[in-house]
Amino acid sequence: MKNLSWDDLQIFAHVARAGGLTGAAETLSLSAPTIGRRMLALEQVIGKPLFVRSRTGYALTDKGQSLLRKVKAMEAGARPIEEWLTSGVERPAVRLSAGTWTANFIAENFARVWTSNDPFRICFKTTEARLDIAHREVEIGIRNQPAESGNLASRPTVEIAFAPYVARNHPDPEGSEWVSLGSEEAVTRSARWLLAQEDTSICAWANTPHTLRDVVRAGAGRGVMPCFSGDRDPQLMRAGPLIAELAETQYLVMHNDDRHRPEVRKVIDRLHALFRDHAELCRGDRPIGTSGAEKA
């Protein structure tokens, strides 16, 4: 085991959380083939398979699940040392985990979350994967369900609605084909919903929500997006009614101890106020830049 690398263990954790090489490559400065080779080398060092590889991604074996628990514990143990090394040198960071659509919305309203007078920084962790708050991978996670276990706390924010969108002035909004995330990247409810529909004609696949939006904007077809994203985009319009079965309540989830830290509490309160003030937009009641006739 002398050749076991902490860097490889961290890469392993990224692959496990993302469910595949593509998702891990998006957050690491490494290519998917390089990550794949390093995971094969890690399995050779350990002497047991860590993943079940398939067309749809990487699933953990029992040995892989056991190793992931140990890596999480190591990461949690290293965090106090990292904080100690940077104490007095850098301002504390409040790490915020959110999916692409939500992270984009917060970024566009960043002045509501952070000011130049704040004695802390915001660190975005934009990913569709669910990071481990219990082991302090982030301080705050924005999720579609409350915390279920562990030393975690939850705070509900607003209802999030979803609808199909096409490029503005598309000649056949409801008759156009679909643009979808690929099966390996379809980890969100909205992406899985589209893939589960029968007789769905998909004209283009994307591996990130940003690319999906760009392809829809280009007029290729319809794409499913949260209303707080699609309705405020002047290049898009709705291509049908709200998708009722995708409506969900959004929660701020945080570690029960960390939420009492002054900087974390301040960001939680500001995020809650931001979404509360945009509740109508989030639940699909206030499309921006559209006429009343276009409201679904």
Domain of 97, CATH number, reads: 3.40.190.10
Same domain, 122 and 260: yes
Domain count, the chain: 3
* Chain-centroid distance, C-alpha 256: 21
pTM to 2 decimal places: 0.69
Which of 26, 44, 77 lies at the terminal end of a domain, its last residue?
Answer: 77
Q: Could you report the per-residue pLDDT of 95-145, keeping only the tens digit for each?
A: 999 999 999 999 999 999 999 999 999 999 999 888 889 888 899 999 999
Same domain, 119 and 217: no
**Is the residue at 143 inside a domain?**
yes
In 3D space, the residue among 14, 229, 200, 4 whose CA is nearest the CA of residue 105 turns out to be 229
Q: Could you report the per-residue pLDDT of 19-51, keeping only the tens digit for each?
A: 999 888 887 878 888 999 999 999 999 989 999
Which of 51, 77, 103 lies at the terminal end of a domain, its last residue?
Answer: 77
CA dihedral sign of residues 223, 100, 131, 49: positive
Mean pLDDT to the nearest integer, 243-254: 96
Q: How much is the pLDDT for 290?
A: 44
166-198: burial string, b at 16+ Cβ within 10 Å, e else? bbbebeebeebebbbbbebbbbbebbeebeeee
Range of the domain at 63: 6-77
